[in-house]
Each structure stands twice: as structure tokens, then as C-alpha cells.
Structure 1
Amino acid sequence: MSTADATTTARRSKPLGNAARAARGDGPSGRRDAGRKPTTTIIVTAILAIVAIYFLVPVYWVVVNATKSTEELFGSSGFWFGENFQLFENLKAVLTANGGIFPRWGLNSLLYSGVGSVLATYFSVAAGYALAKYRFAGRRIVYGLVLGGVLVPGTAVALPLFFLFSSIGITNTYWSVLIPSLVSPFGLFLASIYASAAVPDEMLEAGRLDGVGELGLFHRLSLPQLVPAIVTILLFQFVAIWNNYMLPLVMLADEKLYPITLGLDNWRAQTDRLPEFYQLTVGGALLSVIPLAILILVLQRFWRGGLTEGSIKG
């Protein structure tokens, strides 16, 4: 064996140092939970459990009480089932009440949320990409306006939008709810932050050298890198539009244009003189949760790569 080979063998057989063991994950210093106190783990787990209970208890209450009659709704515990299981009868009553208006409300909500979230996501990602990857005059001003838009609640602009749309004659139409849904300052802000980290400038320069146009750079090269951000913005915008109450309340007068949120509130307002509307409202609330649950289950796999993966790229 040559001297060089012997030296190489000796180096390979030499015990690893602490730094090398840490890099490989061997030993106490390389464990992922190194330095984490058991007390911290318990506190974090307890906080997450409390938050989960906070969000799940209302859903559980709706599921349980959707199986009861109106009498059992007030004559039994709200957190346990009644003697008679009437879920399917209650859901049938929801779908057929007022001439079958609830399915119409559901389709309206799908229209507002589906079209609004898809277009708002596209516009937000395109604008966020432009803010992150292009340098132009007034860029900082535009960015400041976007941040200001994030801080303005939607309820604050509902009435001014009503006066604006009333002057051009589109109130009490689908457009009066759809057009404001196409704007998402939060989505634009999130897309710009993610694009600045996830889309390398070198990739764009290489694309330009290969003759790819700016639209091609965005659609063919950048969008695949932005999938986690796209899914996040899409879901947030869909949920925000689906749960929106103030804007349809201000804009719409025709019951046939109502989304589910406004329709359920219309039923709830009739409970003083017609108690059976309590059960219709509870059953309708249960049905309104199902599309959101399906959307989350379908889209969750896109998050497994991690929304923050762009932040750890060198």
C-alpha cells in the first residue's frame, strides 16, 4: 500500500469530531431537539391544543345540532346528540325551503369565491412578481400603498364602493360583489415576498439569454416556483370571499343573488316569528362548511414542500 493510500485510510478511520457528528446528525449535538427544554415542548403543545379546541368546538356544535329537531335543539345539551337522529330530514328541509333557494345561494357563493379567488390570485402573483423582480420608478411608493391596503379592513371600503357602483349602475348585480373580490393586497404582498426568495435572478437572466420573453419568464419559469404561494393565496382569498358578509349586504337587494352567508342571516332574522328557521340555519351552516373542508383537503398536499422553502435557499 502506498503512503498516500495509508494516509487516506487513516483519515477515514479517524473518529469524527463534534462538528462532523453534528453535521451528520450523530450524537447529542446533532439531534433536532437539541437545546429544546421539555417545558417548552409542553407549553407549545398545550397552546396548539387550546387553539385547535377553539376552532373545532363550533364545528362540532354545528354537526351535533344539525341532527336534532327544533324542540331538541333547545331542550337538550348542545354538545350531545338528541334522541332522534334527523340529519337527513333537516338537510332535505334546507335544500327545499323557500322554493329551493339554498342551492341557488350555494352556486352564487361558488361563483363569487371561485372566479374571484382564481383571478385575484393570478393578479396578485403577477403584480407581486413584478414588484419583486423589476426595478422601476415609484416602486417603493407602490409597495407602500400595498402595505396600506393590507391594513385597511374590507368593511371600511364597502360603503364607498356602494356609492361608486351605484353611480355607474351595477349595484344589485353579480359584478358588484365580483369586482371587489379581484383585489387582494395581502396576496400581492405575500407573492412579492415569496417571489423575491424563490425565483433566482440568475434563472431569469438565463431565460432572457435563451430568447424567452418576459411573459414566458413569468408563466413558464416563475409560476412553477411559486406554487406554494399560489395555493396559499388562493385558499385565503376563497375563504375570505366565501365568508364575506358586509359587501353582499351593502350591494345586494335581490335574494336570488345572495351568497350563503347573507342567505343564512336572512333565515336567522326570521326565527323570532318562525322558530323552525333555527334548524334551517344550523343545517345550512353545516352544508356551508363542506366546500371549505374539501378545498383544504385537496390543496394541503401543495404545502408539504413548505411555504418557507424559498427563505432557506442560498
Structure 2
Amino acid sequence: MPLAWLVLAATKNRRDLFATDPYAPGDFSLLTNLGEVFAYDDGIFGRWLANSLLYTVVGSTLSALISVACGYAFHAYEFRHKEKLFGVVLAGILVPATVLQLPLYLMASAAGAVNTYWAYLVPALVNPFGVYLARVFAEGYVPDEVLAAARVDGAGELRLFAHVSFPMLWPGFVTIFLFTFTAIWNNFYGALTMLNDERLYPVSLGLFMWNRSVYQQPELYPLVITGSLVAVIPLVLAFLGLQRFWRSGLTAGAVK
């Protein structure tokens, strides 16, 4: 129902938004609203959208690669305190992200990285849940016999991971990528803590700032609504485009 309201409200102008039934279609002003969204304040919304795509695509790709590599290492190698280290990873899953924002801010401030792309991007690379999920995938997808055979054939460890194990772990990589993509795209509190320059805002924080100003600037109501609809589209496209890998990943190990 909220999504249906969002779609219908985006087709209305500011007058119809408050004068008509919430679930009644408007006068189909969607294209007009879209033009106003991308033209307002010299097109700042387009920059916010580009920032969000940069944060999420780069952050999700690197985070998924790091998680898959770590999960594969926990599966393929034996080393001292292996299970204890994995217990630390599991403990990291239990810590709420909001609890970490103040320490992360202090660390970024000490490093002089506050109000930069790095302050928002680097913390997103650490994903304990992704490491846990990657180990589960590695145990289900990468047989020890295949690793042993590749080593006998002379494959080095990097080649073994890149050319033998990673193709087997591709569904797991995509699954972790999608989870991380959604988490970074919706990471409003991290952006609110780390960023002050509106040119660096992701779309979620930018829309929040617009929404705070609607009482002084009522013309922003349609822009916030239409911008929110646009902000949902990349998530929908990501899941539709990668759903076959995501489905196969979620069912890994379900049938033996």
C-alpha cells in the first residue's frame, strides 16, 4: 500500500496531492514532476543519485569480493585460532550499525576523512554477515577434492581462488552483493553522521533534507515524493536483473 500510494502520488501536482483521495490517480503529471526534480537547485538531485550509485556499486562490489575471499579462506585453509577468529566475525554481526557510528566518526575525524567520499565508503567494505554467508557458500559449493586436484595440477593459491573457486562462488557473490547494495543504499544514518557537504549526499539524505524544508517551501512536497519513487528504482532493477543468481544462492545446500 505505501508503494502504491507513492506511485499514484507521483502523478499528482501539489494541489491534487492534498485535494484528492490518496489512492486516486492524478492528472498524470509524472513527467512534469520528474523534470522539476532533476532541475531543482541546479540539478542537485541528479548528483545525489550519482553519489548513491557510486557508493553502492563500488562499495557493494568491493565488500562482496572481500567477504567472498575471507569466507573462502575460512573454508579452504587451516590456521591457528581459526574458529575463534570466526567467532569474532559472528560477534560483529550482533553489533547494531548505529552503535558503531560514533566510533567510526571519531576515527574518520582523526584521519581527516570526515565529509569525504571515503568516510561513507570505507566502513561499508567491512561486512561480517557477508563473511559468514561466504563461508557457508564455500562449504556448499567448493569441494575439498577440487582444491586438492587443482593444487596437484600446479595451480597457485591466487589462481586457485580466481579461476577455480570464484566461478563456483558466483551465486554467493551476487547474493552478498545484493544484500550489501541494499544496506549501503539505505544507510541514511551513516551519511547523516559523516557528510556535511550537500554535493556529497546520497539520495536518501538529500530527500531527508528536502523533506525537512517542506513546511517553509511547500513546493518541495511533489519533489520529495517523486524523488522517493526514483530512489526505489535502482533497487528494483538490481533485484530483477540478478534474481536468478540470488534465488540459486538462497537455495544453496537445500537439496543434497
Q: Same fold (TM over 0.5)?
A: yes
Q: Is the aligned partner of 1:66 residue 2:42?
A: no
Distance 1:254 1:281 in 2: 19
Instruction: Give the letter for the 2:63 counterpart.
Output: A
Q: 1:102 aligns with which of 45, 54, 61?
A: 45
Match of 2:222, SS? Answer: helix
The answer to whether the 8 A contact 1:105-1:258 is kept is yes
Per-residue CA distance 1:196-220 (angstroms, 9 max, x = gap): 1211000000000000011111111
TM-score (norm 2): 0.97
Q: Mind listing any 5+ residue stretches in structure 2 that lack a counterpart?
A: none
Per-residue CA distance 1:156-205 (angstroms, 9 max, x = gap): 11111111110111100000001001111111110001101211000000
Q: 1:171 aligns with which of 100, 114, 117?
A: 114
Give the match for residue 137 of structure 1.
80
Q: Is the aligned partner of 1:154 residue 2:97?
A: yes
* 1:307 Cα offset (Å): 3.0
Instruction: Give the letter for the 1:308 counterpart.
Output: T
Instruction: Give the letter for the 1:72 counterpart.
Output: D
Matches within 5 A, 1:153-232: 153-232=96-175
Q: CA RMSD in A?
A: 1.2
Distance 1:256 1:180 in 2: 20
Match of 1:62, SS? Answer: helix
* 1:306 Cα offset (Å): 4.9
Distance 1:272 1:240 in 2: 30
Per-residue CA distance 1:115-135 (angstroms, 9 max, x = gap): 000000000000001011211
Give the match for residue 190 of structure 2.
247
* 1:142 Cα offset (Å): 1.1
Q: Is the aligned partner of 1:85 residue 2:47?
A: no
* 1:79 Cα offset (Å): 1.6
Q: Which of the pair has more CA radius of gyration? A: 1
Q: Mind listing any 5+ residue stretches in structure 1 that lack a counterpart?
A: 1-56
* 1:310 Cα offset (Å): 3.4
Instruction: Give the letter for the 1:78 counterpart.
Output: P
Distance 1:107 1:169 in 2: 24
Instruction: Give the letter for the 1:70 counterpart.
Output: R
Distance 2:193 2:42 in 1: 24
Instruction: Give the letter for the 2:19 counterpart.
Output: G
TM-score (norm 1): 0.79
Give the match for residue 307 of structure 1.
250
* 1:311 Cα offset (Å): 4.7
Residues 87 and 241 of structure 1, relative CA distance in 2, 3 Å threshold: same
Tell me the number of residue pairs that the alignment of Structure 1 and Structure 2 aligns: 256
Give the match for residue 260 of structure 1.
203
Distance 1:221 1:273 in 2: 59
% identity of equivalent residues? 49
Distance 2:41 2:205 in 1: 15
Instruction: Give the letter for the 1:260 counterpart.
Output: V
The answer to whether the 8 A contact 1:197-1:311 is kept is no
Distance 1:204 1:62 in 2: 51
Match of 2:80, SS? Answer: coil
Q: Which has the higher contact order (CA 8 A, sep 6+)?
A: 2
